[in-house]
Structure 1
């Protein structure tokens, strides 16, 4: 176990843009996490959770995204994020035995696309990623299901998928996690876990402005969750 993992932030280029990537390099790690944050795009809001995973000897690679102004991203915004994940994985995640995608909220949509899912925008445009299917397994924190209501949208996802939801989530209620799990379990292993006192943002160490989290001990929960996610990976 690594007691002290200091994050480092580097820059990568994707097409005409540059973006930051934060890395937690665990010494002698054989497993790697590719982390996708939600609408806000900043993985440092999950800092202690990601450090908790790295302390278990698992490296964490987390690209930064621009803040989106709408909870309903358009096709170009979804593709930009999944391409950014692809560039990040190619640069930093190739020398590990396996790669696990871990994401929160909108980040879970991007990871499912990278694993082969076909998302749909609010305008009913289908969005698919045509690159290599990278992750060996997925961990989805508070995933939204409305991107995958179209028939067969998740049929190509054939890797283990573990879902964590908050029972008090008002943004993506537990019914969405149950819906996704029902579709995925037919051709992918995994399961769904619903946390009684958790809301949508309980999975973040640093909350968005004006958000009040219902969980009585969020930081302790996130350290516990980091251990559970590490066990799933190992």
Structure 2
């Protein structure tokens, strides 16, 4: 593992695919490190930029556009150009990946965020995705990529209706599959959750082991 210019990269010198990981509001992808290390061990080149924590759970247009630009820069600098590319994101990171596919988001204040260049993802794996940014009609019209969503039934931040929005908006155009874990909360998807969090899942370690296997299989195209 190397940490250079606030980008964690993992993987062998001869990877079979690239994974761009987009972290949530907290900004530190190392909170998901066991998942990312598993992907690297299975032949992926993992590129995971770091960010300052968003000051508010209601981010600004400028903050989100800056994150999108940073993800694009990290991808160009650290991911081999000739490999299949998969996007993996948690929470707001999932919204950033959707923007990188061409979606146009809108903040609560009415500001727009989008990527100046569209990434050619083979598929997206989204954990507890924040999709309320894309409720405006047509916001997801340019998305043409298969998506798998993992959502938590106990998630009060991005509840399962965020996943349902993707299914409804992309129906007939993209394959969107959703897996809802009834006992999981928003931070159950993190190997190192924020301090003071009350965990709703009765066995988070077992949940994360299953999640890691499922995400790895999806990234590899096996399911």
- Superposition pairs for residues 1-234 of structure 1, below 5 Å? 7-11=1-5, 20-26=6-12, 28-234=14-220
What secondary structure sits across from 1:171 in the alignment? coil
Deviations 1:129-155 (A, max 9, x none): 121324221111101221011001001
Cα distance in structure 1, aligned partners of 2:215 and 2:82: 17
Deviations 1:167-209 (A, max 9, x none): 1111111112112222123311131110122110011011112
State the Cα RMSD in Å: 1.4
TM-score normalised per structure 2? 0.93
Cα distance in structure 2, aligned partners of 1:184 and 1:133: 18
* 1:181 to 1:81, Cα distance in 2 relative to 1, 3 A: same
TM-score normalised per structure 1? 0.89
Deviations 1:49-77 (A, max 9, x none): 21122222222110001111111111110
Contact 2:68 2:114 (8 Å CA) reproduced: no
Aligned length: 220
Cα distance in structure 1, aligned partners of 2:216 and 2:82: 15
Cα distance in structure 1, aligned partners of 2:25 and 2:74: 18
Measured after TM superposition, the shift of residue 27 of structure 1 is 5.0
Cα distance in structure 1, aligned partners of 2:187 and 2:199: 7
Cα distance in structure 2, aligned partners of 1:45 and 1:194: 22
Contact 2:166 2:176 (8 Å CA) reproduced: no
Contact 1:185 1:191 (8 Å CA) reproduced: no
Cα distance in structure 2, aligned partners of 1:145 and 1:86: 20
In structure 2, runs of 5+ residues without a counterpart are none
In structure 1, runs of 5+ residues without a counterpart are 1-6, 12-19
What secondary structure sits across from 1:165 in the alignment? strand
Cα distance in structure 2, aligned partners of 1:80 and 1:70: 15
Cα distance in structure 1, aligned partners of 2:208 and 2:10: 17
Contact 2:38 2:216 (8 Å CA) reproduced: no
Measured after TM superposition, the shift of residue 110 of structure 1 is 0.5
Q: Which moved more, 1:213-222 or 1:40-49?
A: 213-222
